[in-house]
Structure 1
Amino acid sequence: MLNLHCRTCDQAFVAGPASFASLHHTTDGLIGYARCPTGHVNVVNFHARVHPVEAEASRVTAA
């Protein structure tokens, strides 16, 4: 189960396996298309969900 947000109806929703219309392995990583309870399709990029500390650490460069 994933907590997602629909940008069309501006609602949070819980997506399970039945919510996903399709999943695709791309060069950018795993991409999914999930439907919110009102029927809007949302694109979910699973590799875009980076922990803030990891994102900050990746920007640090050695002097």
Structure 2
Amino acid sequence: MTQPVNPTVELPACDIARRFVRIKETRPDGMVSFEFAIGWPELSVDLMLPRPAFEEFCVAQQVQRLND
């Protein structure tokens, strides 16, 4: 039996217009391993792109870089 969700629990606001990138590693072969998040920087996915594609991705997504 599932427990009902408590409707009084306040979740942090999620602004889906905010996009975040945290670089994890730049490999010798030019690949950039990074975390990408929408809304909440704590909830991310791991991605990997060649450096030029990564830079284009960041511009297209208008990201805030978290570790620059």
Q: TM-score, normalised by structure 2?
A: 0.32
More strand as a share of residues: 1
Specify which structure has the bigger relative contact order, considering alpha-carbon pairs within 8 angstroms and separated by 6 or more residues.
Answer: 2
- TM-score, structure 1 length as denominator? 0.33
